[in-house]
Amino acid sequence: MRYLGGKYRLRKQIAEVIKEHRGLPLSGKVKPYWEPFTGSAWVTTQVDKEPIYASDINKYLITMWKALQNEWEPPKNITEDKYNAIREGRKQVSDELMAFVGFGCSWGGKWFGGYARGEDRNWAREAHDSLLNKVDKLQDVNFFQADFLQVEPPENNMVIYCDPPYKGTTGYKGTGDWNADKFWNRVEYLSNKSHKLLVSEYKAPDKFDLVWQQETKTDLNTKDGKEKRIEKIFTI
């Protein structure tokens, strides 16, 4: 499923970084894992060894993940009329279908950002297939809806991987303008409570350290091809 800011391309590399921080080699145990900005769960699919928690502020999305875990099957086709009726509230649908249509059938995976069409592709069918493939890897994940800025972690001593909206971005349901300062304060507060936080962003306040970086292509076109960025992970 297309998802704005989805980490499809980097999911394996990021999961390696997470793995390094979860290991407790002497005891053979791993630290509990929480991903509070799970979105389309690309990184979550690559994390193994329970306990694994994943949350997001978008209640529709979380309901969709839980429904998929309980064998809900999304539709294979959504017409443009139906898309618009759902978007405009003329047609009432379940929360899981709302998430599927809002992201999976929208241009660029941006929440109701316009009906995805063209390239002779059935975007709903592709989102359907992608979700059903993915959910097999998510059966052991504890999904819940939460605002990262407000909620306490579900366990002590967790490894917490954050992939928040990047500074200055919009396009997620119910998030408005992203408050990056509040976010970094919260990361520091949780780190002081003995959690290990790993954060994807292009920039971090000075007191944070870079633990990983890699050049990647974005979906944005420039005259020289796809725009390149350096993806980074920070910790404190």
> Which residues lie near ligand SAM (CB under 6 A)?
3, 5-7, 36-37, 39-40, 42-43, 56-58, 147-149, 163-165, 172, 175
**Secondary structure of residue 59 in the 3-state scheme:** helix
- Nearest partner of 32 among 22, 42, 44, 20, judged by Cα: 22
CB of 61 to ligand SAM, least distance (A): 6
Distances (CA, A) of 61 to 57, 98, 110, 178: 9, 8, 13, 19
- Considering the complex, state which of residue 82 and residue 123 has its C-beta at the smaller distance from ligand SAM: 123
User: In this complex, which beta carbon is closest to ligand SAM, that of residue 82 or of residue 100?
Assistant: 100
- d(Cα 34, Cα 8) in Å, to the nearest integer? 18
CB of 182 to ligand SAM, least distance (A): 9
For 142, the token pair is: 């504890």
Q: Which is nearer to ligand SAM, 28 or 176 (CB)?
A: 176
User: What is the nearest approach in angstroms of ligand SAM to the Cβ of residue 201?
Assistant: 10
In terms of CB distance, is 85 or 166 closer to ligand SAM?
166
| Residues contacting 30, CB < 8 A, separation 6+ | 22, 23, 24, 49
Minimum separation from the CB atom of position 132 to ligand SAM (A): 17
In the complex with ligand SAM, which residue's Cβ is closer, 87 or 201?
201
- Total residue length of the chain: 236
CA–CA dist 168, 56 (Å, integer): 19
Q: How far is the CB of 53 from ligand SAM (least distance, A)?
A: 13
Report the alpha-carbon distance of residue 145 to residue 137 in Å, rounded.
19
